[in-house]
Structure 1
Amino acid sequence: MSPRPAHARALRLRGALSAALIALCCLFVPLGALSAWATYGLADTGRYVRTMAPLAGDPAVRDAVADTVGDEVADRIDGTQGVMGPFVRDAVRSFTQTDAFRTGWDAANRAVHDAVLHALRDDDRPRTDPVTVDLAPVTTRIKDQLADENVPLARRIPVRHTAVAVLAPGDLDRLRKGYDVLEVAALWLPIAAVAFAVAGITVATCRRRAITATALGTALGGALLAAAVAVGRRLTLSDLPASVSRPAAGAVYDALTATLRTASWLLVTLGLAVALTTWLAGRYGHRLRRPPSPGTPAPTSPQEPTRAQA
């Protein structure tokens, strides 16, 4: 057998292997970014509270909270709902513009997040129990606000320690399985992406083209991730019940996914920048290394004497 066909076959195998490794790398990059965002962003209580804190000043969120809490407090007023209802809602709307509301907003988000995270990580927790949070402190703040404004019968508002369900047992079971998968994926997917990229570039017959392909694939993965975030927003808002404020839900979704959107566009920018740099280096580097065409006299050094001068 001639060595030339064998060499060509080896080159084709190397090219196919390089393409497969680079394709896996470009697939794992957006998945790794998504997993890292969910594990180290959403699953961190302090970071979650800091992310949600600015929403206390969002008008849509304040209106939604005022309507929900106002209705809840008014429903708990026995026998006086018709009289107290307007006062309660006005007081709640005024309360949402105070520093006390921002403090309560952070405390409520921390309490809900801690409860959900503890339920996800507690393997001994019964799978039939919902995740609940006691929101009596919020009712107490509203009651004090009404009393300070001399609202009639404000002191009679009952404060009951009622467990409010934030996650149903079925939802908790699905989230627990997904959380376990994300914890593993957030660590190993980025490592695998880097390993596949290095391996794909190493075995490539033309490493410059392999680097360009990896960079373009990374940019494409970032663009697809950004598109997925946008589609997820539309689907999330379209599936909400009529009682939920869509502007408020949209503000919450945008706040939670801000880091993910930034990461996706960073992948696009980085990938395109590397691809452009590699292409320019190959184009102009090839011109600088191009040998002189046949028939062109080689330049002589000015210090070297010619035969006539000798």
Structure 2
Amino acid sequence: MERENAELRDRLDPPRAATTGRRWRAVVSALLIVLGAVLAPVATVGAWAHGLLTDTDRFVGVFAPLADDPAVQRFVTAEAVGIIEREVDLPALTAALIDGIEDLGAPGTAVSAARALETPINLGLSGLVRSTVESVVASEAFSTGWREVLTLSHSQLNQTLRGEPGAALAIAPDGSLGLQLGPVIGTVQEALVAQGLGIAASIPAVDVVLPIAEDVSLTGAQAGYGAATVIGPWLPWIALALLAAGVIVARRRRRALMGAAIGLAIAMGVLLVGFAIAAQVVPAVTPLPADAATAILSAILSPLSQTSAAVFTVAVLLVIVGWGTGPAPLPTRLRAMTSAGADRLRTIGDRYGVGTGAFGAWIERFQRVIRIAVAAGAGAIVLLARPLTPGLVVGTLIGAVVALILLDLLRRPAR
């Protein structure tokens, strides 16, 4: 009786060592989940940056469409025309032409008429330059050339972060970011000369950097560039490993899974909010026209936002799945209704001679393995598919749910 009483007391009041062990498991699990959730946004940005640096197709896919964006075309046209007019003094050329006519001994009336037309001639030349630049920038040839240049000069982004000369983007010592217009002006100059505007040949090589973002401390980005290129592709796996370890260590793994999913959803939500704020603030602080700055920023942030939204969707779905498989009254009732409905359909099928027979018995025998395979396949699609989008995540979940429903209908439980 004393031994039995001691056993009962142990059951009601667990030993201190067991209680301490449970507490430490809970602490370690929570710490791992928090670290994984905090690292998730950094991993998302780091993996995207690494892919942009190493994948030429991705780099071109992000920046090539900017050549066809009307806002960017207007910006490039305005800047190119401004540089051409600054480097080629059209009024001085017109005045020199009229002076040459006068030096040739032309009648005074002719010289007076030419001087009266000096302003219209200048305006006509300016209009010709602008219209030519607009047609060149809006042409398919310019878009194709832009794509080819991006493909051939994929190393430009690396050169920017390394601070090398000749990069398309330049980082100043104060951390501001600028766009070099030299290559663009060179392309426009060749097109103008080809179209018969000979004065464009006098445009010298320009080294103009347009400030895009000031006081953004990109020197810090340069400092961490080397580390980012090395650990960037591993960061998502590290974050996933921390979250998975936190779930495995926990005693109540379903709750830990829901906690990890909630933490991941919060982290991705904060990242999405940050992108939304940047989309509103950055165009307002850059010297670029607001529509052009918005187009450039959208091209950069759109892939990141899609990936973050997809991960956020995964986290929310994991919370829903964790709740749906839990012991709460509502999900328990729903699972019972689903099982009863499947059993009723199997009974009706048997009544009319439509059954799965030995195949259904085989599915019943290996249903757990099949369920695990379906879940693993859905997880592999979400982890490995690129680009990851919310539509892909939701479609994968729907496909997995349909597969599990078919599995429940096809299996043949022993009566």
TM-score band (shorter)? 0.7 to 0.9
Whole-Å separation in 1 of the counterparts to 2:323 and 2:83:
62
**How many angstroms does 1:49 deviate by?**
2.3
Secondary structure, counterpart of 2:238 in structure 1: helix
Whole-Å separation in 2 of the counterparts to 1:129 and 1:221:
32
Whole-Å separation in 2 of the counterparts to 1:180 and 1:22:
27
> Structure 1 156/179 Cα, relative in aligned 2: closer, same or farther at 3 Å?
closer
Q: CA offsets, 1:130-165, max 9 Å, x none? A: 9999866644543454455555xx345324334445
Q: What is the aligned partner in structure 1 of residue 33 from structure 2? A: 22
Whose RCO is larger (CA < 8 A, sep 6+)?
1
> Structure 1 86/174 Cα, relative in aligned 2: closer, same or farther at 3 Å?
farther
Secondary structure, counterpart of 2:76 in structure 1: helix
Tell me, yes or no, if structure 1 residue 95 matches structure 2 residue 139.
Answer: no
Whole-Å separation in 2 of the counterparts to 1:198 and 1:109:
39
Tell me, yes or no, if structure 1 residue 255 matches structure 2 residue 299.
Answer: yes
Q: Pairwise mapping of residues 99-248 of structure 1 onto structure 2 (< 5 A)?
A: 99-107=140-148, 109=150, 114-118=155-159, 120-121=161-162, 138-147=184-193, 149-151=195-197, 154-155=198-199, 157-165=201-209, 173-241=219-287, 244-248=288-292
Secondary structure, counterpart of 2:325 in structure 1: helix
> Structure 1 116/236 Cα, relative in aligned 2: closer, same or farther at 3 Å?
same
Q: What is the aligned partner in structure 2 of residue 70 from structure 1? A: 81
Whole-Å separation in 2 of the counterparts to 1:88 and 1:12:
76
Secondary structure, counterpart of 1:205 in structure 2: coil
Equivalent in 293, 317, 327 of residue 273 of structure 1: 317
> Structure 1 252/8 Cα, relative in aligned 2: closer, same or farther at 3 Å?
same
Residue type of the alignment partner of 2:24: L
> Structure 1 116/158 Cα, relative in aligned 2: closer, same or farther at 3 Å?
farther
Contact between 1:133 and 1:163, CA under 8 Å: does it hold in 2?
no
**How many angstroms does 1:51 deviate by?**
1.2
**How many angstroms does 1:233 deviate by?**
1.9
Higher mean displacement: 140-149 or 265-274: 140-149
Contact between 1:76 and 1:157, CA under 8 Å: does it hold in 2?
no
> Structure 1 105/74 Cα, relative in aligned 2: closer, same or farther at 3 Å?
farther
Residue type of the alignment partner of 1:56: A
Contact between 2:193 and 2:200, CA under 8 Å: does it hold in 1?
no
**How many angstroms does 1:185 deviate by?**
4.1
Whole-Å separation in 1 of the counterparts to 2:182 and 2:230:
37
Higher mean displacement: 94-103 or 139-148: 139-148
**Which is richer in helix?**
2
Contact between 1:201 and 1:207, CA under 8 Å: does it hold in 2?
yes
Normalising by structure 1, report the TM-score. Answer: 0.76
> Structure 1 60/219 Cα, relative in aligned 2: closer, same or farther at 3 Å?
same
Whole-Å separation in 1 of the counterparts to 2:209 and 2:190:
25
Residue type of the alignment partner of 1:35: G
Secondary structure, counterpart of 2:78 in structure 1: helix
Q: Pairwise mapping of residues 47-66 of structure 1 onto structure 2 (< 5 A)?
A: 47-66=58-77
Whole-Å separation in 2 of the counterparts to 1:188 and 1:137:
35
Q: Pairwise mapping of residues 77-88 of structure 1 onto structure 2 (< 5 A)?
A: 77-78=88-89, 79-80=92-93, 83=122, 84-88=125-129
- Identical residues among aligned pairs (%): 28
> Structure 1 72/205 Cα, relative in aligned 2: closer, same or farther at 3 Å?
same
Whole-Å separation in 1 of the counterparts to 2:332 and 2:221:
54
**How many angstroms does 1:63 deviate by?**
0.6
Q: What is the aligned partner in structure 2 of residue 301 from structure 1? A: none
> Structure 1 111/171 Cα, relative in aligned 2: closer, same or farther at 3 Å?
farther
Residue type of the alignment partner of 1:201: V
**How many angstroms does 1:10 deviate by?**
2.0
**How many angstroms does 1:114 deviate by?**
2.9
Q: What is the aligned partner in structure 1 of residue 375 from structure 2? A: none
Contact between 2:268 and 2:312, CA under 8 Å: does it hold in 1?
yes
Secondary structure, counterpart of 2:326 in structure 1: helix
**How many angstroms does 1:13 deviate by?**
1.8
Secondary structure, counterpart of 2:15 in structure 1: helix
Q: CA offsets, 1:50-91, max 9 Å, x none? A: 211112221111111110111112211143497233221121
> Structure 1 89/110 Cα, relative in aligned 2: closer, same or farther at 3 Å?
farther
Contact between 1:66 and 1:93, CA under 8 Å: does it hold in 2?
yes
Contact between 1:104 and 1:138, CA under 8 Å: does it hold in 2?
no
Larger Rg: 2
Contact between 1:53 and 1:106, CA under 8 Å: does it hold in 2?
yes
Residue type of the alignment partner of 1:74: E
Whole-Å separation in 2 of the counterparts to 1:252 and 1:68:
16
> Structure 1 149/285 Cα, relative in aligned 2: closer, same or farther at 3 Å?
closer
Q: For the aligned residues, what is the CA RMSD?
A: 3.7
Contact between 2:192 and 2:200, CA under 8 Å: does it hold in 1?
no
> Which runs of 5 or more structure 1 residues have no equivalent in the other structure?
290-310
Whole-Å separation in 1 of the counterparts to 2:154 and 2:31:
41
